[in-house]
Structure 1
């Protein structure tokens, strides 16, 4: 059996819910105003994309640090297209990385992003089972 993860989601009134991880960290989720919510938190579908971007950025930063690259910033812009029919799953997801540093080697950044996207990022790999996942990157010199 693989690694087990548990989270709890509790109703906080109207369409607001609080997600709590085993660590005790919380996140507020809410339906949009058009669905009876107050817009007080993230939509669960946005959190799926944010989770993939966060997971991938952790990989990229760790890999580039191990490669002794001088990193200043790592951003992942994640775009998702959802089906029109219910359950409106993501059909296409694109992850665009912007990696900023001093004298970053193109090959090191390429390797870091590709390793994350093809081997390490469990969040994007999970989403890729149901959606077409693409990615690219830009390098900015600090």
Structure 2
């Protein structure tokens, strides 16, 4: 993680897989709104983690899945540390003849067994999910 002093409060990180990630702070804290906030990246990473799991589980079950989106809404504590206290994930899974039970089970398995990020966040946040299935 490296602070880019000439850019206000921008930090760049090189991930373990060799990719670059930029983060910035809010203008009221010296940031310039040039990149996502660090906590936004935590939430986005959690969405990516669980969507990845859901897709993988459905594909391994030989279901004809062609898309997966997840929208996250969150609430944080009012005082420091402003941890996430509630997170709701709404999945939209697209495919051909996707069984309701298979989609629901994939989401459940992700949150109970596979998604390290959501399992970690569940230590401070109530995590709820909903989903809809759309035909391909």
| Common topology (TM > 0.5) | yes
The answer as to 2:93 corresponding to 1:99 is yes
Task: Please list, as runs of the form range in 1=range in 2, the aligned pairs for 1:42-121 lying within 5 A after superposition.
Answer: 42-121=36-115
In the TM superposition, what whole-angstrom CA distance separates every residue of 1:9-32 from its partner, at most 9, and x where no partner exists?
110121000011122101110002
- Residue in structure 1 matched with residue 16 of structure 2 by the alignment: 22
- The alignment yields a C-alpha RMSD, in angstroms, of 1.0
Distance 2:59 2:74 in 1: 29
Aligned residue pair count: 134
Helix, strand or coil: the match of 1:18?
strand
The DSSP-based 3-state class of the residue aligned with 1:104 is coil
Q: Among residues 11, 24, 32, which one is paired with 2:26 in the alignment?
A: 32
Q: C-alpha offsets along residues 73-120 of structure 1, whole Å, 9 cap, x if unaligned?
A: 101111110111122111111111110111111111111111101111
1:130 to partner: Cα distance:
1.1
- TM-score, with normalisation over the residues of structure 2? 0.94
1:11 corresponds, among 3, 25, 37, to 3
Q: Which TM-score applies when normalising by structure 1?
A: 0.90
Distance 1:86 1:109 in 2: 37
Q: Distance in 2 between matches of 1:61 and 1:92?
A: 24
CA distance in structure 1 between the partners assigned to 2:53 and 2:12 by the alignment: 27
1:130 to 102, 112, 124: 124
Q: Distance in 1 between matches of 2:23 and 2:52?
A: 23
Aligned counterparts of 2:107 and 2:45: Cα–Cα separation in 1: 16
Structure 2 spans left out of the alignment, 5+ residues: none
Ranges of 4+ aligned residues in structure 1 off by more than 4 Å: none
